Amino acid sequence: MKKRTVLGIRACTWVWLLMMSLTLITYLIGQVGVGGVSASLTVLGFALIKGQMLGDYFMGLKRLSGFWRWPVSLWLFLPGGLISAAFMLVG
């Protein structure tokens, strides 16, 4: 089976590297101790992006059509929305 690669590296490897990078940035934000709505929502945004990438490329949902294309995306919207609302209400 032919594998799609970018610069000779598998697509899933690029996704893994991107997820690791976003995790490191999240950790550094935590180490600096930055708080508040903007920083919190930025970090949450990174997590939601990572979750979408995991669903699309690791779980393999990206190439599906119909109902099963969307459960992970919708799930990410649920806690993402609840957490965002709670942090924005605190201010």
Query: Among residues 7, 38, 60, 73, which is the contact residue for other proteins, using CB under 8 A?
Result: 60
Q: In whole angstroms, how close is the CB of 8 to other proteins at the nearest point?
A: 14
Q: In whole angstroms, how close is the CB of 1 to other proteins at the nearest point?
A: 6
The size of the interface with other proteins (CB under 8 A), counted in residues, is 60
**Cβ contact 5:11 at 8 Å:** yes
* Interaction residues for other proteins, span 8-37 (CB under 8 A): 10-16, 19-20, 23-24, 26-27, 29-31, 33, 35
Give the span between the Cα atoms of 1 and 76, in whole angstroms.
Answer: 32
* Phi, psi dihedrals of residue 47, rounded to the nearest 5°: -65, -40
Give the span between the Cα atoms of 37 and 83, in whole angstroms.
Answer: 11
Task: Examine residue 56 and tell whether it contacts other proteins (CB under 8 A).
Answer: yes
